[in-house]
Every structure is written in structure tokens, then in C-alpha cells.
Structure 1
Amino acid sequence: MGADNVGVTSEFAPLHTVVVARCEFRAPDSPEILGHRMPVEPEAVQILEQTWGKDFGAVFPDRQRVWEAERDELAEVLRRHGVEVLRPRLFTAEEKAAAGAEGYANFFVRDPWFTVGDQVIEGSLQFRHRRGEVLPSRSILLDRVMPSAAGYVAIPQPAIAPVGVAGEGPFLEGGDVLVHGTEVFVGVSGMATDESGCAWLTKYLRQHGLSVTPVRLAPHVLHLDCALGLVREGLAIRCGDRLPDGVPDSLRDWDFIEVSEAEAAAMATNGLPIDPDTYITDPAFDRVGRALEVRGVTVEYIDFAVSRLFGGAFRCSTQPLSRS
């Protein structure tokens, strides 16, 4: 698989082309519309409580500027390592208006679509304010995926449900999907991907020679990448408290850098391998970084404090189109 092709062979294969997220967020008009608690850092609760029904940048213009600078720095670090960086467009005024009281988000490109093997899949998100998040990436998918040999499909969308209820799935979110060769790990906690979403992906990928291994998550954990991060073959970062059944059998003999529940909540597992020898994380996780360096991994540090307020970090902020 060359750099011009679309496909992802693993979480840590050399990264050739990646999409880096934008920084748009308007909270729903009320917590009742959200349906269940927003998965954010504990320190962020009071900040985000001030944004119900409002654009984050309008309420916190200084933090908005820092947030955008964080993503721009990530893009520059990736380019410095020879990675082609693409960016989604911003929401149009019509898209913002159509979102209405449910609000909108264009801030974590990992979840609304994802690449597995040579298949690009548009997902289905539980949080209603995120269900239009694929739209700013659609032109990238049409420009890059349609002319390629890669497959391009979308999971069936969820049923219409009352306000404050996610409704009947299937739900399938990219933060739950980790690729390891022909085995695909899919996290299931009930907050994001559900059993029907996992079953749909299992059925779809089987015809392409890929198998799905479900991974049960603690109920409060949004995505698998908030509990487990694959760094290179044989090395991973994990929070055991968030994995009630442990890691999948194929990973049992790996070397794990363990993180606490508090570290995982702050996104310690959510770094980004550029290749098997280079990894991006936040200086807040220098303990993890030192453990990686002892194991021969070069660590790039980027302050992602504002991005992490929203419950995601480097993996959440990126979506590979080409890793091989």
C-alpha cells in the first residue's frame, strides 16, 4: 500500500495522510437534550456548563484561539514528519441553523468516519449534537476515497427518537475502532458504539478478510481509545480499570504502560503514533512519555489542554486516510 492509496493496516503503521480536526462546538440548548453526561475532564465541567445553547468560541474567545492553535501545531508537527495533512471545512450557516436546539460539533474527526484496511466507513454517533459531524469531511471523502480503490460505505443511521434519548441504533464510532492487521478491536460501553453497531461492522468486514473482536469497556468510558492505545507491535498504553475483561487475547503478552483512572480520564491513552518509533502526547503525561522513551520511542510533546477539556486528545483529533 503506497502513500497515494487509501487504507490503514494498523494503529502504528507509518502515517502518510491524515485529517486533522477543526474546533467548532455549540452545546445543546440544555442538558436534557444531550441525553447523558458529556464525557469531559472533571475540571471542564464548570467551563462547559456556561456554554449550553452557545458557541464555545463566543463564550470563551481566548480559549477558542488556544484550541485552534493546538490543532494547528499538531498539523505542523505531522507535516514536519512528512505526513500529508488535510483539514475538514467549517460548518456552513445553513448547517448550523439546521442543527437547532441540539447544537453541533466539528471537533473530533476520529468518530464520524474511519478507515479500516481498505474500507472507509461513515459511522453513526449517539450524541445528537455530533450526528452532522461527518458533513465537513464529506468533500475530503469524495475527493480522495471515491477515485481510489478503497470501499466507501455508511452504516444505517439510528432511528428518530424523543429529545434526550439516543434512540435505537446501530451506533458505531471511530474512537471505538482500533486496527491491528486483520483483527479489528471494537470497544462497547453503551455510551458510543453499541452491540448492533459492532455486529454490523463484523458482518461488513468479514467479506473483506477482517475480523472484529469486541472489547467490553466500563460503562463510564466513551471510547476504546480512552482506555487502550497501541504504540507499536508488542507495546501499548492501557488503563486496566477501564477494561473489565482485560485486553483481547491477541494482546495478552504485550508490554503495557499502565495508567490510572485519573490519567486515562485526562486522555493519557489517547496519543498518536506517527510510526512505530515516534509518538505524540501531551506534556501532562511526561511519565508515560518517559516510559516510552526508555523503550526506544521518540516522543513529541504538544500542549493539548483545551482539546482535552472536551474529552479527547491526539487520536480523537485525527483520522488517517493512509497508514501502511
Structure 2
Amino acid sequence: MIKLNIKDETSPLEAVILGIADSFGGTPDLADAYDPKSAEHIKAGTYPKESDMIPEMEAFNRVFEKYDVQVYRPELRTDLNQIFARDIAFVIDDYFFKSNILPDREPELEAIDYVISQMDPNKVIKPPDQVHVEGGDVMVHGDYLFVGTYKGPDYPGFITARTNMEGVQFLKDFFPQKTVREFDLNKSNTIAEDNALHLDCCFQPVGKDKAIIHKEGFRQESDYQYLVDLFGMENLFHITKREMYHMMSNVFSIAPDVVVSEQNFTRLNEWLRSHGITVEEIPYAEIAKQEGLLRCSTLPLRRK
């Protein structure tokens, strides 16, 4: 039986699902791009190759091995992008939630069935069809649950809007004891620098009391201010639009004092080290071209 326990984003990691880049289906047609950054690279002929992404994911896996983390990988489905495990499901406390994802991504969920089947079935939750919520928009912070969403009336017109207000309400009802706070994110189907695809693209806690944040990712100044008040301005590392574009807030914590980061994030990595955090730097810039990075590639199951 796989035990589940996720109370925050940084406690020592014990078990995780890490995506795979094998047989990911190659460069998609422009019409099939899920986000503006992928579309940009499809147009430019710079979309990442399998031969470049597999070594990046294996570098990530080696870091997990170094820290004795139990790693599960999806079963291979040919010609399917199985990199971003965070989209398809997420764990809060000891509950495993399956996301209502785009229909052509259902096989990604089927590929981790062998993991889900080892969990207590009473703890595996499939929300109602009208509830849209993806793991990148869900952040557990002790008694707080931070949820990214998009409140605009044109929600259905954004392929980049992945979590709706029904999703927020579902989590509020499911966890009445938690402070569930939603954040209205800026979305763009066409300009990657203006698009906060998920909450973890513009905000993420690190260490014991710090966080990375991109102010312009939030549609409402009050949402940004809420996090400033909660964490304290001195504990926030602010990133620019260009740094958000490169996914600088999408690092991954193995422990409060260990963060896996992209090797090119010099400014962030120096800041983390200045606060006593060990930074495990790996190459991940090719995967970043699909508007996802380290947190997006993982589905944590259990932390200490």
C-alpha cells in the first residue's frame, strides 16, 4: 500500500511520480499546441527533441536517487507526451485527486494506474466533470491551500485556463478546515510572457518561510498583496517577466534546505544559496520550451 502525505511544498520528500520523455510524439501541429510557448517553438522550428529531453529527466531522476526518494515512472505509451505528471493528478494531505484533463490526455492518467491501484481506494478522488483543476494550480501550505484560477467571463476561450471556480469551490467544500485562497491569474493564448499557465508559473514557496513570486502573474493586485502580507516582502524573491517565461518559479523542493533548479537560473540559485539552501542544478532548458519545468514534471505522493 502506498501511503500518501502532502502537507506543504518543501518537507523532506519520500515518494514521487516523475514523468518520462520517451516516445513523446515529436513536434505537434501548431493547432494542437496547449500553450503559447510551445506554439512559439513550433513556429520557430526549435521545439525540443526527445534526444535532448530524456537526458534532462534522467538528470532529475539521479538527484532523487541521491536523496533516497522512491521514484515511480509512468508506463510508456507510444507517441504521447508524458512529461508533465503534475497536470494529471495531485495529492493534498492523504487524498489523491485525479484531474479532469483534456480528453486526449486521459492515457497519461491510465499510465499511472499501476501506482494508483496501490493506494487506499477510499482516498482516491475523481471530482465531478464540471470541476476543472490541475496540479500546477494547487499548492499546499500547511493550513492554507493556494489555488490558481481565472475569473474572466471568457474562461472557455482560454486553453491556458486550466482551473475553474467550480474547482476552487470543490476544494473549499472538501477541505472546510483549511483556508482555501484562490488567485486570479493572467492568461494569454498567444504571448508566453503574459501567460501564467498555472499558479506555480508565478509563485512557489521554498525553504521554511520564503517564496518565489512574479507580481505581474496576478490579475488582481490584492492577490499579490495577500502573499506579500503572508510571507513578508523580505522573504520573497521577485522574478521578471522574462524570468517567468523561462519558468524560474517552477523549481522543486526535495527538502526545506534542498531545491532542484535549472542550471541557468544564476540569480535565483545564488539567492537560494544565500539563505542556506543547497541547490541541485540540472539542465532542463529544453523541457522549459513546453511551458513547464521541474515542479510540473513531478507528482509528489509523500513527504515526511
Is this a same-fold pair by TM over 0.5?
A: yes
Q: Distance in 2 between matches of 1:120 and 1:88?
A: 16
Counterpart in the other structure of 1:152? 124
Query: 2: CA distance between counterparts of 1:298 and 1:31?
Result: 39
Query: Which deviations, in whole Å up to 9, do the C-alpha atoms of 1:256-289 show, x marking residues without a partner?
Result: 1111011111110000011000101111101100
Offset of residue 303 of structure 1: 0.3
Q: Percent identity?
A: 25
Answering whether residue 95 of structure 2 is matched by residue 134 of structure 1, we say: no
Assess if the C-alpha contact under 8 Å between 2:26 and 2:50 holds in 1. no
Report the secondary structure of 1:199's partner residue.
Answer: helix
Aligned counterpart, 1:160 = none
Establish whether residue 212 from structure 1 lines up as the match of residue 156 from structure 2.
no
Residue 257 of structure 2 aligns with an amino acid whose one-letter code is D
The farther-off stretch of 209-218 and 286-295 is 209-218
Instruction: State the partner residue of 1:57.
Output: none
For residues 39-86 of structure 1, the C-alpha deviation after alignment (integer angstroms, 9 at most, x for no partner) is 43855642377xxxxxxxxxx7xx312211111111111110121111
Match of 1:316, SS?
A: helix
Q: Kindly provide the amino acid, as one letter, of the partner of residue 211 in structure 2.
A: A
Q: Residues 233 and 139 from structure 1, CA distance in 2 versus in 1: closer, same or farther, beyond 3 angstroms?
A: same
Q: Match for 1:232: what amino acid? A: G
Q: 2:139 aligns with which of 156, 175, 178?
A: 178
Preserved CA contact (<8 Å) 2:207 2:277: no
Partners in 2 of 1:194 and 1:28 — Cα distance? 29
The CA deviation string for residues 166-221 of structure 1, in whole angstroms up to 9 with x for no partner, is xxx42110000000012110001341111111112221222xx3332101111222
After the TM superposition, which parts of structure 1 deviate over 6 Å for at least 4 consecutive aligned residues?
none
Cα distance in 2 for residues equivalent to 1:41 and 1:12: 32
Distance, in Å, in 1 between the alignment partners of 2:138 and 2:55 is 27
Q: Paired residue for 2:254?
A: 274
Q: Does 1:293 align with 2:267?
A: no
The answer as to whether partners of 1:225 and 1:270 remain within 8 angstroms in 2 is yes
TM-score, length basis structure 2: 0.84
Q: Which residue of 2 aligns with 1:25?
A: 24
Q: Which runs of 5+ in 2 are unaligned?
A: 156-160, 188-194
Q: Is the 8 A contact 2:209 2:231 kept in 1?
A: no
Q: Say if 1:270 and 1:29 are closer, same or farther in 2 by CA, change over 3 A.
A: closer
Tell whether 2:14 aligns with 1:16: yes
> 1:303 corresponds to which residue?
283
User: Partners of 2:43 and 2:9 in 1: how far apart?
Assistant: 31
Q: Equivalent residue of 1:8, what SS?
A: coil
TM-score, scaled relative to structure 1: 0.79
- In structure 1, C-alpha distance between the alignment counterparts of 2:173 and 2:46, rounded to whole Å: 38
CA distance in 2, matches of 1:233, 1:251: 13
For the structure 1 residues 264 and 116, does the alpha-carbon distance in structure 2 shift closer, same or farther, using more than 3 Å as the test? same
For the Cα contact (< 8 Å) 1:15–1:322, is it kept in 2? yes
Maintained 8 Å contact 2:27/2:42: no
Deviates more, 1:105-114 or 1:241-250: 241-250
Partner residue, 2:197: 222
Alignment partners' CA distance in 2, 1:28 and 1:156: 32
Alpha carbons 1:120, 1:152 under 8 Å: kept: yes
Once the two structures are superposed, residues 76-104 of structure 1 have per-residue CA deviations (whole angstroms, 9 ceiling, x without a partner) of 11110121111111116xxx6xxxxxxx4
Number of aligned residue pairs: give it. 282
Q: 1:30 to 1:79 in 2, by over 3 A?
A: closer
2:215 to 219, 225, 240: 240
